[in-house]
Amino acid sequence: MQIQEYVSLRPFNTFGIDVQARRFARFTSGENLLEILDENFGTPLFLGGGSNILFTQRVDGIVLKNEVAGISLIGSDENHYFVKAGGGEKWHRLVMFCVENNYAGVENMALIPGSVGASPMQNIGAYGVEIKDVFYELEALHLGERRIQKFSNSDCRFGYRESIFKSTYKNQFVILSVTYKLSKKAVLNTAYGAIKAELEKMKVVEPSIRNIAEAVIKIRESKLPDPKKLGNAGSFFKNPEVETETFNSLQVQFPGIIGYSLPGNKVKLAAGWLIEQCGWKGFRDGDAGCHANQALVLVNFGNAKGKDILLLSEKIIDSVKKKFGVHLQREVNVY
């Protein structure tokens, strides 16, 4: 166990925000984590891939980086494979492991930045698929009681980019491993037009899960900046949900508005479209800005401070509210 002092967190967050942590350590197992916690450095801040956090201040306590590793097939039944992965594994590495072995269900979520441990916490999703669709169970350490607890799919109370770990149990658990339930017989989800169009470009007539993953990777690479080259955290805002009646009213005023029908008389709006209509796409103020290809992505052009990006996000929220009467919520956690 090695505790470092006065460590820059710039390499550990995809926004590339240069803030300092008073103390920093990595853990590779639950036992390893308990050893560090026993040192009593105060309430820790946990980091996985650092792809869903915006630092606006230094961390006076200790930052603990989840590096619990390993991906393996732990069982199967007539219709499914059960794959277990360490919370510190990169999410995309898990996706490609499943694609290589023909374990179906996560291919639409290829190239999402971040770690396995964050996937159920955020209920990450893309192109019509969410973690809740493939989640089986997870193991997490309760920080107060110092014990490991298992959570089933229903235990996690998944919602749109939500789970019990972001509400009732916020800051109470650290996810050590996640087990996914993948299909032996792929049911391909190509409902999103972008995937269909990309498959046509690839001249794929009968797609496999590998083709789907490749198409998604191409789409994401064309729209989203590489965090290694341009600091960002992917989609900064959630796609807002409104009542169908509200959507119909908006459609009269804004015929081009994009919406996807949901159960319960709801419509999910495309946050990127709303932001673009307010003139933010490609905007830059100093080193904080809005990506030129995808308005949903806020970027750090080099040396932006977290407060600069936070201020920009507040201006975007205000402008969308004023123009459309719709409130945007941040998907990224602000520290």
Q: Which residues are tagged catalytic?
A: 161, 235, 331
Name beta bridge partners: 261. 267
Q: What is the pairing mode between strands 298-300 and 241-243?
A: unpaired
* Beta-bridge partners for 150: 139
Please, which residues bridge with residue 71 across strands? 85
* Residue of 77, 73, 109 lying closest to 92 (CA atoms): 109
On whether the CB atoms of residues 269 and 239 are closer than 8 A, the answer is yes
